[in-house]
Each structure stands twice: as structure tokens, then as C-alpha cells.
Structure 1
Amino acid sequence: MTLLTTERAGRRYRLSDAPDDFDGEAVHAMLTRAYWSRGVPREIVERAMANSLAFHLWCEDAPRRQVGIARWVTDRATFAYLCDVFLHEDHRGLGLGDWMVGQGLKHPDLQGLRRQVLFTADMHALYARHGFVPLATPERGMEIVRPNLYLPPVT
């Protein structure tokens, strides 16, 4: 189990990868505000967290609450996909997202992997600081995309 702390703007934060150190309600609330998972059901969020290497960021000051998430889908041997990086709006601008990603990348289960990938609409500079670069051969990649999968159909 990884357990790290940092102080920012007079507040104390704790980062944990313990599966039970997870506030399903808080993470669901954050991810339903993210452009990539609007409307995601809570049970989907909980199943995704349970089957991933997830890092949970807590603000330890009153009121104590989970304020961030970063999740790696990985086989812990050759490949990892970084996704669901989200920081509560009230805690942005303090470098916490950068810290959370940097600490997560140091995790023993993410060492020696042949490839790590991610997709982002707007945070390229943050991930570039950690060694991520545009796909060298995007023509090799393929995907099935279901945007707005969790939202009700438009009638």
C-alpha cells in the first residue's frame, strides 16, 4: 500500500492506493462532472475502481473528504492505461494533479512496463512533464468509442 502526504496552501493531503480507502459517493460525484464520463452510474465507478490500480487523494483538514482520483488500468507486467484523473474544483491550482500523477507513476506495479497510454482533451502539458508524448504511430491504433454512453438517449 502506498500512503503519501503533502501540504499545499495550508492544507494537508493524503494519497493512498488502498482499495478500501475510497469514497464511492465522492468519486462518483467527481466523475459525473468529467467530460469523459457524464452520467456514469455509481456501480460502474465502483467496479472500475475495484478492478484497477486507483489512487485516492484526501484532504485531511475538516471537513475530511476525498478530493481527487487517478486510475491506472493495468496488467502490472507490460501495459497501463491512465484514466479518470480528476481533482475537485475547490482543490485545483495547487499542483495536486501533477503530484498525484507523479506519485502514481512511481508505484512498483507500474515499473518496467513496455507501454503506458492516456487520452486527454486539455491537460497535455501536465502529462508531458511526466514523460508522456503524442503517439508515435497513431495509424496503428484503433478504438471503439461510445461517447455519452451513460447519458439518456436524445429524443
Structure 2
Amino acid sequence: MPAVIIKTGKEHMDVQAIHRFLSEDSYWAKGISYELVDNSLQHSFCTGAFTGGQQIGFGRVITDYSTFGWFADFYVLEEYRGQGISKKILTHILAQPWAKRLRRIMLNTKDAHGLYRQFQFRDLANPAFVQEIYRPDIHLQLPG
């Protein structure tokens, strides 16, 4: 396999490939529209893994670059999993000067707890303090 290159910035991402994965293969955003994906990247710190010119992994951070970051939409294409690519993406993001200053970094995951624990993610210290409005299928509803 050719070397894996990490790039940042929406302008370097293959938005069509990201949309394809999220809308077809993810468990969290099945059916999401291209427009929603495109807009979400516009307002996030985007990081992608590329090999041979193809985007094979992605993750974004929704952040104020000062105190808080939410990690979202992380994936590596199935045929490239188990090669440390997720770790490269996470390492790259967490090495950013602004990321080192964040007081709180959060994410949701159904099945990658072991990966994220390697990067100091833990269960909520005070779960009773956290509240949410949870609308997992809002992206499937028509506007208005």
C-alpha cells in the first residue's frame, strides 16, 4: 500500500466520498443528504487520510478552537482498517496547538471505545451533568 497522507481543511477533502460513506455505510447518518454533509464540513476542522490520491479515512472536529471540541464522523474504509489509520488521524488532530488547549473534548461511539481510550477518552466523569436533545433521524425529515 502506498503511504498514507493526512490532510486538513475542507478544500482538501473528497466531499462526495465522505457523503457516500456517511449516507450508505455509517450507522449514525444513513440517508443524510449531500447538502447537510457539505455544510457540516464547512463549519468543522476536517482531517482526511489519503493513499494513492484516494480518500480512505475522515474525521472532523466541531470546535471553538479555545475550550471545546466534539469529534464526529470518524471512519476508515473497511478495506483499510486495522492499519493504524484512525490513530494517524487522531494523533494529527490532537497535536494541533489549539487542540492541546481544549478543556473538554467529547464524542459518541457505538463500537470504537478501545481506540478512543488509547487517546485518553474516558466515560463521562459526571453523567448526571450531561443532558441532550437526541434526534438521530432529524436528517431524514423534510424541511418545514
Q: Report matched runs for 1:49-88 at 5 Å.
A: 49-60=41-52, 64-88=53-77
Residues 31-72 of structure 1: CA distance to partner in whole angstroms, max 9, x if unpaired?
Answer: 111111111101111111110011011112xxx311111100
1:34 to 26, 30, 41: 26
1:129 aligns with 2:123: no
Structure 2 residue identity aligned to 1:71: R
Query: Distance between the aligned counterparts of 1:99 and 1:148, measured in 2?
Result: 30
User: What's the counterpart of residue 99 of structure 1?
Assistant: 88
1:44 aligns with 2:33: no
More helix by share: 2
Query: Distance between the aligned counterparts of 1:111 and 1:77, measured in 2?
Result: 9
Query: When the two structures are superposed, what TM-score results if normalisation uses the length of structure 2?
Result: 0.92
Structure 2: which 5+ residue stretches go unaligned? none
Query: When the two structures are superposed, what TM-score results if normalisation uses the length of structure 1?
Result: 0.86
Query: Distance between the aligned counterparts of 1:125 and 1:102, measured in 2?
Result: 15
Identity percentage of aligned residues: 30
**Count of residue pairs the alignment pairs up:** 141
Query: Distance between the aligned counterparts of 1:139 and 1:145, measured in 2?
Result: 16
CA separation of 1:93 and 1:142: change in aligned 2, threshold 3 A: same
Query: Distance between the aligned counterparts of 2:84 and 2:137, measured in 1?
Result: 29
Structure 1 residue identity aligned to 2:22: L
User: What's the counterpart of residue 10 of structure 2?
Assistant: 19
Structure 1: which 5+ residue stretches go unaligned? 1-9
RMSD between superposed Cα atoms in Å: 1.4
Query: Distance between the aligned counterparts of 1:16 and 1:116, measured in 2?
Result: 21
Query: Distance between the aligned counterparts of 2:10 and 2:139, measured in 1?
Result: 24
Query: Distance between the aligned counterparts of 1:107 and 1:129, measured in 2?
Result: 18
1:90 aligns with 2:79: yes
